[in-house]
Amino acid sequence: SAVISQKPSRDICQRGTSLTIQCQVDSQVTMMFWYRQQPGQSLTLIATANQGSEATYESGFVIDKFPISRPNLTFSTLTVSNMSPEDSSIYLCSVDREMTDTQYFGPGTRLTVL
């Protein structure tokens, strides 16, 4: 499995502000993913981030709201922009280790927007 860390682990933010979440992996991976888990709900894929290319967003998610960076093979960031209380969720990154066809998840970032 992969060792994945996320920063911050939790945050409380004011509406209208932006928060950048970092995801760091202990080894190089091609694919990184960002998910949102709204309170009491399941996980929904926001976007897939490959190093060196633009992120691919799922239906219902747009780059202006959730810009993603993937500067190298071990790191990615997700920004939640112009936040509203509806953005209060757990945001999780995951990686697909080479040749495993399995996604391993980071510990998540609990975001509360007031």
| Cα–Cα dist 76/88, whole Å | 20
x/- binding map, residues 24-63, to another protein, per CB under 8 A? -------x-x-------xxxxx--x---------x-----
Look at phi and psi of residue 83 and say left if phi exceeds 0, alpha if psi is from -120 to 50, else beta: beta
| Cα–Cα dist 9/91, whole Å | 10
Among 34, 77, 108, 111, binds another protein (CB under 8 A): 108
Sort strands 56-57 and 109-113 into parallel, antiparallel or unpaired.
Answer: unpaired
The nearer residue to another protein, 41 or 72, going by C-beta atoms, is 41
The nearer residue to another protein, 4 or 83, going by C-beta atoms, is 4
Write down the least CB distance from residue 110 to another protein, Å.
7
Q: Do residues 65 and 82 make contact, with C-beta atoms less than 8 angstroms apart?
A: yes
Q: Which residues bind another protein (CB under 8 A)?
A: 1, 31, 33, 41-45, 48, 58, 90, 92, 94, 96, 101-108, 110
